Chains A and B, each alone.
Chain A
């Protein structure tokens, strides 16, 4: 709370603070997250405990991975709206195929549509220059259609959630959710990839100035195809994690996560116009959205009111954050 107490009154100090924040864009996000948790604690004293923390992490993790897909695609000036469908498909296929298939085979079958949709997205965006919004929306609809057809063929065999996914999705070991075992390596890999690999550099470069990247010898389509396949794979894995958490395979399992995943990346400071942002901000963005959802739930508002408030808060936070961070 001390950070808040020292909020500046004088202009010159404000200017300096702004500069400070602009150089370290994570700080205002962390402050916001702390404020939200504090408000929650004030409204419901005692709610913030070990169990609550583990629970919040469990629900934030699938959102954070999908938001990672958005972060990477948004860095190139794109977006991946097919992540919800891809996650749902892999979850649904896993749950139905595990009934009479070897787990490894079921896993491969579950990841197959992810790779295919990623490839089609990549070719559409990278080669035929379809706008990513339309491209991924289109493949998302097509994927949902295929899933409905597929559902008819497996309706007799039923579905079950593999024990391992159950353990990964809901289990808690020594107070830490098991999902962290998946999330921590994924997050570290994404952060390292964005900052320390040639591919990561190219994502930023292509999103900032495609022509400059081309003049430096970068082949746009290669970057984009690889990117959308990677994004789809991550979405597929998220689907498997999410089915272990929700435990009810349905045809719209991960669909409600799509727009929040975009919101988490934007709140985390990634520009939808490309070239600017990073994954650490996105993770905090996902946590903020999850805590916000809890907060609005305990207010016991009707669903409609909750959504209205959620939308307003997301808009307000994003606008305020950009004002703080943008150095102009």
Chain B
């Protein structure tokens, strides 16, 4: 006999303008089940979660709860229907104490306290203002608050991400018991180890559609990775490039060398080298510490541990200007972070020229004009609307952010997802430009969330997972399957039949077992 699903969503679709965030997603959760929701970056996980919890409205599709059609119009409606999410960001209002926060959501206090104790925090003062509570504890409180109202379906988004090991263990244990008590949990995670320890089944999303539902059993992680990749796994690789030889010819001289870099809880241990004449890719799932890595290299945040060497000499950056002084320029992924939108293309490109105290004097307009138009020409920026950068298209804006550092002749460029949300033609131009820069002996560190770009642009790829470098491969070996496995923290060269999912022990043991 088959039990009828507690939650059954089918054919869910959502468009943002011309972009389809979800095409045909389905998710079916049985009572008492812990169900993993998986998918690569941009597969549509967050959109589906937002629709299920009423944060946004679907364009098409049907959502049944206990067989009844449900119109989740608002988070409150989802809550009444017994669907409760715990998001990655803490949701307590920072300026209220815990008790007032509970009252706001009419959460019963005693069950909440019981859950908090259960989750491994014995001494919580519920009169404490939320602002003063550490992040890890806040996340546990969010979970306890959700558990206290005994929802039918609990939705956990990367629940263990910011937790220390002991709390994470308690959380996983409690989540497991939810299942045993007949309630369902939808569990979103990038960590196979957790999923194997916790979940009964997994739904895999790719490009906005559900591509498979699998039972979690030893060896299934290979199938999941395959599903997440789809047919792309067979795609041919880009041939090795001449630029590789340039890097070798330069004597492998290290331009930037990072050792054991640490930053709070996000960046745990990152070491790598960036050579002159090289484009090194950084590939990671969202939130694995790549933002912090780039910020530390750009001088925006001070690392809490480890060293950075530039051309063999140790450096300590306390302001982006220090990094720029060392020839390291940072191009953020978000254009609005890098551009003065109301100012002209010229002023935006020339901005670093005026930054230092000694350059506050009269500008040599003609020379500036020459340098700026050189950079504009090189990137082929469309300057018909150059009076204000905000009138340019997204692709042209992105080019301006890069042109600035071409004009400043920076020796190392840190590009953080520079092609996000821009058109294909511009993407190609940016790839070409980055290769040219490497050809001139400059070095580029290139974070991307698109695997295809790794092969198009990079000589080498550094994969980061959970704040650590998990693997580094030359581009020839970086096919999409290998990248995806590495990005999920799966060890290289371990075959499916080893079944590390069955083994919750550290990865190195599993490798030894092979």
Contacts and interface: CB of A to CB of B under 8 A. Distances in A.
Contact of A209 (B319, B324, B341, B352): B341
A190 to B, nearest CB: 14
B35 interface: no
Contact of A204 (B340, B355, B365): B340
A213 to B, nearest CB: 7
Contact of A275 (B320, B343, B363, B387): B343
B57 to A, nearest CB: 28
A46 interface: no
B332 interface: yes
B16 interface: no
Contacts of B350: 201
B363 A197 contact: yes
Interface in B311-360: 319-321, 324-325, 330, 332, 336-343, 347, 350-357, 359-360
Contact of B356 (A196, A204, A209, A217): A217
B320 A215 contact: yes
Given A215-B300, A219-B319, A202 B340 contact: no
Interface size class of B (residues with CB under 8 A): 20 to 34
Nearest to A208: B340
B295 to A, nearest CB: 10
B342 A208 contact: yes
Contacts, number: 94
A198 B353 contact: yes
B436 to A, nearest CB: 23
Nearest to B357: A222
B14 interface: no
B324 A217 contact: yes
A314 interface: no
Interface string B28-60: 000000000000000000000000000000000
A218 interface: yes
Given A196-B362, A215-B300, A215-B330, A202 B339 contact: no
The residue in A23, A192, A216, A275 that gathers the most chain B C-beta atoms within 10 A of its C-beta is A216
B363 A217 contact: no
B355 A218 contact: yes
Interface string B216-252: 0000000000000000000000000000000000000
A204 B388 CA distance: 13
Given A215-B320, A217-B320, A205 B363 contact: no
A212 interface: yes
Contact of A216 (B336, B351, B387): B351
Given A205-B340, A208-B343, A196 B363 contact: yes
B360 A217 contact: no
B506 interface: no
A276 B365 contact: no
Given A196-B363, A208-B342, A275-B343, A201 B351 contact: yes
A107 to B, nearest CB: 26
Interface string A180-224: 000000000000100011110110110011011111111100100
Interface in A200-250: 201-202, 204-205, 208-209, 211-219, 222, 226
B360 A202 contact: yes
Contacts of B330: 215
Contacts of A275: 340-343
A104 B451 CA distance: 71
B347 A201 contact: yes
Contacts of B361: 197-199
Contacts of A198: 353-354, 359-363
Given A217-B355, A275-B342, A211 B337 contact: yes
Contacts of A214: 300, 319-320
A312 B412 CA distance: 56
A217 B326 CA distance: 11
Interface of A: 23, 192, 196-199, 201-202, 204-205, 208-209, 211-219, 222, 226, 275-276
24 contacts: A23-B387, A197-B354, A197-B360, A197-B362, A198-B354, A198-B359, A198-B362, A199-B354, A199-B360, A201-B354, A202-B360, A204-B343, A205-B347, A208-B341, A208-B342, A209-B337, A214-B319, A215-B330, A215-B338, A217-B324, A217-B356, A218-B354, A219-B321, A219-B357
Interface of B: 298, 300, 319-321, 324-325, 330, 332, 336-343, 347, 350-357, 359-363, 365, 387, 404
7 shortest interchain CB distances as A-B pairs = A198-B354, A208-B340, A217-B321, A217-B355, A199-B360, A217-B324, A198-B360
Given A205-B340, A226-B360, 20 more contacts: A197-B361, A201-B347, A201-B350, A201-B354, A201-B363, A202-B355, A204-B342, A205-B347, A209-B336, A209-B339, A209-B340, A212-B351, A213-B351, A215-B298, A217-B321, A217-B324, A218-B354, A219-B355, A275-B340, A275-B341
